[in-house]
Structure 1
């Protein structure tokens, strides 16, 4: 599903280069659940953003569902991302002017899903996340944990092939966090959704089928669970 070859990300200052990622090689098969760990500054979020096409590498080759992402134009990359990837951000990234219902519905608008189908899918998702009573509220009226749940619901609604999660339970209490990780596990095992998560939590990392440890912008180890 995903192949990264010699991926580097650096920032140039004069003739000097500061590497965030340095010649990273990574293969992820369909149906895997990969946890990426490492200390702050090791390049975890940058790697996730490159995989998700939100950032571009300075060097290297990026293939996703047999498409050469490194050769695609921005519009083509955007279409590929919207059709296949759901992103759960650490900082929610909800749209303040939209209600819970409208935030969750947004990915379906990009995919031209019919109105009646959208309503059914949003209703089902609201029910699944126990948010029916909050559907008309705005993000500012929700707690941090509730905003993260909306972000996760939005990422899942279009049934993406790949879910990218950056510290997905960072702002949830332990019970909510466990419920989200169990939901990810179920999506992975029963629905075959590929998941790549960045996490500091050893417990959350154990939900994966493989743990990749980054250190100084390089893959330090890869452990199969």
Structure 2
């Protein structure tokens, strides 16, 4: 599904080269659940952003769904990640001025899906996540766990093949965090969605099928669970 070859990411800062990722090689198969761990500053979020095409590597080769991403124009990359990838962020990234319903519907509007179909898809996912009663509320009226559920519902509404989650339970109480992780596990096992998460939590990492440890922008170790 995904293959990174010799991926590096660096910035120029005052004449110095600051490296974030150093010659990373990574292959992820369809249906895997990969947990990326490592200390702060090890490059975890940057790696996730490169995988999700939100950030371009400074060098290296990126293949996704058989396409050479490094050869695509920005518009093509954007179309590709909107079609195949769903993002879940620690900070939820919901739009404050939109209701729960409107937040979840937004990705479908970007995909030019017609109104009647949008309505059916949103109704289905509201029901699935048991948040029908919250559909007319705004993010500020929800708890952190409810906001993250809406964020995941929004990420899943386009039926992505890959979910990228950056510290998805970082702002949640432990019980709500466990519920979110169980949801990812279910999506992975029952729906076949590939999941790649960045986490500091050993407990969350063990929901995966493989744990990758990053250190100083390099993969230090990789073990299957």
Do 1:148 and 1:171's aligned partners in 2 also have CA atoms closer than 8 Å? no
Equivalent-residue separation in structure 2 for 1:15 and 1:173 (angstroms): 43
Residue of structure 2 equivalent to 1:99: 99
TM superposition score normalised by structure 1? 0.96
Equivalent-residue separation in structure 1 for 2:176 and 2:124 (angstroms): 19
> Helix, strand or coil: the match of 1:49?
helix
Q: Does 1:164 align with 2:176?
A: no
Extract structure 1 runs of 4+ deviating beyond 6 A: none
Residue of structure 2 equivalent to 1:132: 132
Residue of structure 2 equivalent to 1:190: 190
Deviation, 1:143, is 2.5
Bigger shift: residues 106-115 or 185-194: 106-115
> What are the ranges of 5 or more consecutive residues in structure 2 without an aligned counterpart?
none
> What are the ranges of 5 or more consecutive residues in structure 1 without an aligned counterpart?
none
Residue of structure 1 equivalent to 2:41: 41
Q: Does 1:223 align with 2:219?
A: no
Deviation, 1:93, is 1.1
Deviation, 1:133, is 1.6
Equivalent-residue separation in structure 1 for 2:219 and 2:80 (angstroms): 26
TM superposition score normalised by structure 2? 0.96
Deviation, 1:191, is 1.3
CA-based RMSD of the aligned residues comes to 1.2
Do 1:107 and 1:158's aligned partners in 2 also have CA atoms closer than 8 Å? yes
Aligned residues: 225
